[in-house]
Each structure stands twice: as structure tokens, then as C-alpha cells.
């Protein structure tokens, strides 16, 4: 009987150990695990078993700013074929959606799928990326669609503000006007140009693969070693931050029949700026907006900062588009008051506590959204900081130094706000 008791107590201990290990798994899966494959590809994995979905994203830090004048269309068209149509079609039949987009500093391939297909997808995707088989695929029709899209954007007024800004900014010594895609540039792309782009620019280092979802770290690493790490290692391309010239016009006014009233500021992020501090700063910045803007329908602010420029430590665009019930004049006044308050009114500990609480809740909401986790990791990779930092933002806000916030506003933020964009709904207004 004694033996029996001992046996049962061991059993109970075993049971509790099992339970505890499950609990630990709950906690540990809140974090992103990093690894580097033999060919230099960085891997970020966040296990999340709440839903049977996995999102795989390849980030290739080559963007529109890296290619010679007039070759931006080649980059977009060639990158669109990094995953061949055959692969895309095959996996679409398995409920896997794949999206490829080229940005100013990186190319992003994102696929959402049933985790059962992840091995197969990685295999096919790497065969395509490794061989460049699809980079010049279906070029004639893709070019025609691209031209049509550009025309449509113009009619809709989408991108009117962005496109009007770029000719006034110089990046890496180049006037960014060449980033704009014209019909002529799109038509100049040939199959040979796409293949040359692939040969000259595609590198496994720097490159990253981010996986978020219902996949186990160990099995995934094994799978990545059999697929992604076999991507041929070629001469590395340095990932240098962009140089940014501020000798451009300070204010641009744009009139468009189709666009709504909006104001935007471009903030040049000076070299060496601590990105964690910057995130703390912008959390305070956007929180204070509530004080100067009122929205009638439901009080959510329409302000946001885009990370379109962020990759490559470039600059941040602060863009405010009024909701239905904020007039342009109020928006303008609100922004001016906000800048004045950031400059003159010191942030108080109570204010920091409130913001910290809110950010803490927002982080919880972000953690529910698999795509927002993926975005956090992507931004962290491109900036070169720890992807788990975004989860500690609330703590960092709480301990922020009010002196430093004021100093930053007056010595860095306001002097580096280089542009104001005004887009009017009606040209005659």
C-alpha cells in the first residue's frame, strides 16, 4: 500500500508538471524567437496556436530607392514574379493567399495558409525565389494592368498627396521623382531587364523570414533548414541607411478635386535616434492630439504615422486626414496647437501613466491580430531592434523622462519637420 501511495504521489507530481509545462508554453508563446540560417537568412518565429492559420512572410530589403533611375518599374514587375503564378495558383486551391508588394526600401511576400501546407509552400516558394523562374512571367499583361492601376489612382485621387511630395525630397542623392511610375517607364521594362534585376539585386543576406501562427518552433526550423537555407548564398549587399537631404521646399500645397482635406508632416529621423525612444515619443504625440481635435461621430482620431519611409531609417510621415466631422481649419489649428503644446508643456507623470495603460491595452489587442504581430516583427527587423520591444512599450512610456521629451521636441522633432502637405478637396476652396 505504501508503494501504491508513493506511486500515486509520483503520478500526481507528473500530472502537475505537465500542467505547469502547458502554462509555461502559454507565457513563452508571447515572444518572438530569432534564428539565423546557414545562408544568412534571419528567421523570426512567433508560435500562436489560437487559430489553425500560419502566416509566412519573406522580407527582402531591396526597394525602389536602391535601383537606378527608371528601373523602379522593373523592380515592381520582377518582384511580383518572385513566387510564380503556378505556385500561387496551386496554393490558392488550398486556401493559401499570397501577396507580393514592392516598397521604397524592401520587397514583401506574405502568404496565409493552413499550417499543414507550410512545408510544401516553403519548398515551392524557395524553388521559385531561388531560380527566379517567375520574374519575367506574363510580363505584357502585368504591364497593362499596372498602367491601368496608375490611371485609376490618378482618377480616384489616391496617392495624390504622396506623389506630390516625392519630387521635393532627395534621397541618396537622387531626386525621388523617379520613384513615380509613368506609362513610359512601365513600358520600358523587358524580360531581360527583369532577369538582370534578379541577378544583380536578389540576395539571401540581408533577408528575413517571419512566421506567425500555429506552427511549432522546432519543426519549423527543421523545415526552414530544408528549404530557405538552401537558397543560394550570393555576394552580400550592404544594407545601408538612406541619406536624406532637407534642402527641399518646406511646404507643398496640393489641390485635387478628388482628395479630401488633409495635412501631413514629414519628420526626418536623425541618424542615431533611439527607435524605442521615438516610439515612446509618438505615443505621447498621438495621445495629445485628442486634446486638440474633436471628432463628433465617435472620438477616434484619424491621425496615423506611416512606416512607408521607415525602412532604412529614413523618415516618418505624420499624416492627418480629417474624419467626416472635423473641418480643415480645425485640423490645421489642432496640429499647430499640438506642436506648441509638445514644445512648451512638459509631460506629467499622470499623463504618462494614462498613456501607458492605454498602450498596454492596445498591445493586448495587437497580440490578438496575427497580421499586426507580423507587422511589428517586420518593422523591428528593418530597424534592427528587438521585436519583443514593442511588447514593452507601455513600461517604457511609464518611465519616460519628461525633460528628454521636451528637449527632443525642441531640438530634434520641430527642427526636422521638413514639410507640410495640404491637400484640398476642392480647388476653389
- Tell me the closest approach of the beta carbon of residue 429 to another protein, in angstroms: 10
- Tell me the closest approach of the beta carbon of residue 297 to another protein, in angstroms: 4
For another protein, the binding residues (CB under 8 A) are: 3-4, 7-8, 11, 14-15, 18, 22, 50-53, 55, 85, 88-89, 92-95, 112, 114, 141, 144-145, 148-149, 151-152, 155-156, 257-258, 260, 287, 290-301, 324-325, 327, 354, 357-358, 361-362, 364-365, 367-372, 425
- Tell me the closest approach of the beta carbon of residue 117 to another protein, in angstroms: 11
Q: Which is nearer to another protein, 3 or 218 (CB)?
A: 3
Q: Which is nearer to another protein, 282 or 385 (CB)?
A: 282
For CA atoms 377, 378, 381, 383, the dihedral sign is negative
Q: Which is nearer to another protein, 94 or 411 (CB)?
A: 94
Q: Which is nearer to another protein, 232 or 299 (CB)?
A: 299
- Tell me the closest approach of the beta carbon of residue 299 to another protein, in angstroms: 3
CB 210 within 8 A of CB 381: yes
Which cell is 281 given? 515619443
Q: Which is nearer to another protein, 66 or 376 (CB)?
A: 376
Q: Which is nearer to another protein, 357 or 386 (CB)?
A: 357
CA distance 17 to 22: 9
Q: Which is nearer to another protein, 166 or 328 (CB)?
A: 328
Q: Which is nearer to another protein, 152 or 404 (CB)?
A: 152
- Tell me the closest approach of the beta carbon of residue 396 to another protein, in angstroms: 18
- Tell me the closest approach of the beta carbon of residue 166 to another protein, in angstroms: 22
- Tell me the closest approach of the beta carbon of residue 334 to another protein, in angstroms: 10
- Tell me the closest approach of the beta carbon of residue 226 to another protein, in angstroms: 24
Amino acid at each position: 500500500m505504501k508503494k501504491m501511495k508513493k506511486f500515486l504521489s509520483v503520478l500526481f507530481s507528473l500530472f502537475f508538471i505537465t500542467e505547469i509545462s502547458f502554462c509555461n508554453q502559454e507565457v513563452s508563446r508571447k515572444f518572438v524567437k530569432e534564428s539565423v540560417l546557414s545562408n544568412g537568412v534571419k528567421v523570426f518565429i512567433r508560435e500562436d496556436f489560437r487559430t489553425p492559420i500560419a502566416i509566412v512572410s519573406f522580407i527582402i530589403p531591396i526597394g525602389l530607392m536602391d535601383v537606378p533611375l527608371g528601373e523602379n518599374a522593373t523592380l515592381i514587375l520582377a518582384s511580383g514574379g518572385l513566387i510564380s503564378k503556378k505556385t500561387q495558383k496551386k496554393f490558392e486551391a488550398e486556401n493559401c493567399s499570397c501577396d507580393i508588394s514592392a516598397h521604397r526600401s524592401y520587397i514583401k511576400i506574405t502568404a496565409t495558409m493552413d499550417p499543414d501546407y507550410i512545408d510544401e509552400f516553403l519548398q515551392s516558394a524557395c524553388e521559385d525565389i531561388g531560380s527566379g523562374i517567375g520574374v519575367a512571367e506574363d510580363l505584357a499583361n502585368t504591364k497593362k494592368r499596372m498602367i491601368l492601376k496608375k490611371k485609376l489612382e490618378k482618377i480616384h485621387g489616391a496617392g495624390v498627396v504622396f506623389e506630390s511630395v516625392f519630387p521635393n525630397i532627395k534621397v541618396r542623392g537622387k531626386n525621388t521623382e523617379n520613384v513615380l511610375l509613368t506609362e513610359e517607364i512601365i513600358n520600358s521594362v523587358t524580360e531581360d531587364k527583369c532577369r538582370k534585376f534578379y541577378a544583380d539585386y536578389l540576395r539571401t543576406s540581408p533577408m528575413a523570414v517571419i512566421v506567425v501562427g500555429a506552427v511549432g518552433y522546432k519543426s519549423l526550423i527543421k523545415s526552414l533548414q530544408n528549404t530557405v537555407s538552401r537558397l543560394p548564398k550570393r555576394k552580400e549587399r550592404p544594407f545601408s541607411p538612406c541619406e536624406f537631404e532637407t534642402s527641399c521646399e518646406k511646404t507643398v500645397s496640393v489641390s485635387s478635386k478628388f482628395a479630401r482635406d488633409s495635412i501631413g508632416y514629414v519628420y526626418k529621423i536623425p541618424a542615431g535616434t533611439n527607435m524605442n525612444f521615438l516610439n515612446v515619443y509618438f505615443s505621447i504625440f498621438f495621445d495629445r492630439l485628442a486634446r486638440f481635435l474633436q471628432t463628433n461621430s465617435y472620438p477616434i482620431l484619424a491621425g496615423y504615422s506611416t512606416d512607408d519611409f521607415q525602412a532604412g531609417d529614413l523618415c516618418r510621415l505624420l499624416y492627418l486626414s480629417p474624419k467626416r466631422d472635423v473641418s480643415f481649419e480645425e485640423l490645421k489649428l489642432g496640429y499647430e496647437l499640438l506642436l506648441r503644446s509638445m514644445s512648451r508643456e512638459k509631460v506629467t507623470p499622470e499623463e504618462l501613466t494614462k498613456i501607458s495603460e492605454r498602450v498596454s491595452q492596445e498591445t493586448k489587442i495587437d497580440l490578438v491580430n496575427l497580421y499586426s504581430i507580423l507587422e511589428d516583427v517586420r518593422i523591428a527587423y528593418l530597424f534592427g531592434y528587438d521585436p519583443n520591444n514593442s511588447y514593452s512599450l507601455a513600461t517604457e512610456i511609464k518611465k519616460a523622462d519628461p525633460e528628454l521629451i521636451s528637449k527632443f521636441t525642441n531640438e530634434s522633432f520641430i527642427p526636422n519637420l521638413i514639410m507640410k502637405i495640404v491637400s484640398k478637396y476642392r480647388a476653389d476652396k
